[in-house]
Structure 1
Amino acid sequence: MPELPDVEGFRRVLQSCAKGRVIQRVDVRDAGVLHGVSARRLRHALEGRRFTEPERHGKWLLAHTGEGPTLMLHFGMTGQLVCGRPADAAEAHDRVLFTVSGDRQLRYRDQRKLQGLWLADDDCAVARLLVRLGPDAMAVDLKEFEAVLSSRRGRVKTVLTDQSVLAGLGNLLADEILWHARLRPTGRASDLTGAERRRLYTHMRRTLRSAVAAGCVPRRDSWLTGHRDDLFPTCPRCGDLLCRSRMAGRTTVWCPQCQPDGL
Structure 2
Amino acid sequence: MPELPDVEAFRAVLDDCARGALVDRVEVRDAGVLHGVSAQRFRRELEGRRFAEPERRGKWLLGRTDGPTVLLHFGMTGELHCAAPDDALAPHDRVVFTVGGDRQLRYRDQRKLKGLWLADRADVDRMIGEQGPDALGLDRAGFEARLAGRRGGVKSALTNQSVVAGLGNLLADEILWRAHLHPALAVRELTVAERVRLHTELTRTLNSAVRAGRVPPRASWLTGHREETDPVCPRCGTPLRWDRMAGRGTLWCPRCQPPGGGPSQSAAPSPP
User: What is the TM-score when the length of structure 1 is the normalising length?
Assistant: 0.97
1:142 is aligned to 140
Query: Number of paired residues?
Result: 261
1:51 is aligned to 51
- Percent of pairs identical after alignment? 66
> CA contact under 8 A between 2:93 and 2:106: conserved in structure 1?
yes
Q: Hey, what's the Cα distance between the residues in 2 that align with 1:147 and 1:64?
A: 30
> CA contact under 8 A between 1:232 and 1:241: conserved in structure 2?
yes
Q: Hey, what's the Cα distance between the residues in 1 that align with 2:23 and 2:246?
A: 41
2:181 is aligned to 183
Q: Hey, what's the Cα distance between the residues in 1 that align with 2:24 and 2:188?
A: 52
Residue 112 (str. 1) matches residue 114 (str. 2): no
Q: Hey, what's the Cα distance between the residues in 2 that align with 1:55 and 1:142?
A: 23
1:249 is displaced (CA, Å) by 2.8
CA offsets 1:13-45 (integer angstroms, 9 cap, x no match): 001111111100000001111111111111111
1:102 is displaced (CA, Å) by 4.1
Q: Which consecutive unaligned segments of at least 5 residues does structure 1 have?
A: none
Root mean square deviation, CA, Å: 0.9
Moved over 4 A (4+): none
SS at match of 2:91: coil
Partner of residue 158 from structure 1, selected from 123, 147, 156:
156
Q: Which consecutive unaligned segments of at least 5 residues does structure 2 have?
A: 262-272
2:269 is aligned to none
Residue 26 of structure 1 aligns to which amino acid in structure 2?
V
Please give the residue correspondences for 1:84-233 in structure 2 after superposition, counting only pairs within 5 Å.
84-122=83-121, 124-233=122-231
CA offsets 1:54-93 (integer angstroms, 9 cap, x no match): 0000000000013x11111000000000110111221111
> CA contact under 8 A between 2:54 and 2:62: conserved in structure 1?
yes
SS at match of 2:20: coil
Q: Hey, what's the Cα distance between the residues in 2 that align with 1:190 and 1:114?
A: 34
SS at match of 1:262: coil
> CA contact under 8 A between 2:183 and 2:245: conserved in structure 1?
no
User: What is the TM-score when the length of structure 2 is the normalising length?
Assistant: 0.94
1:42 is aligned to 42
Residue 46 of structure 1 aligns to which amino acid in structure 2?
L
2:259 is aligned to 261
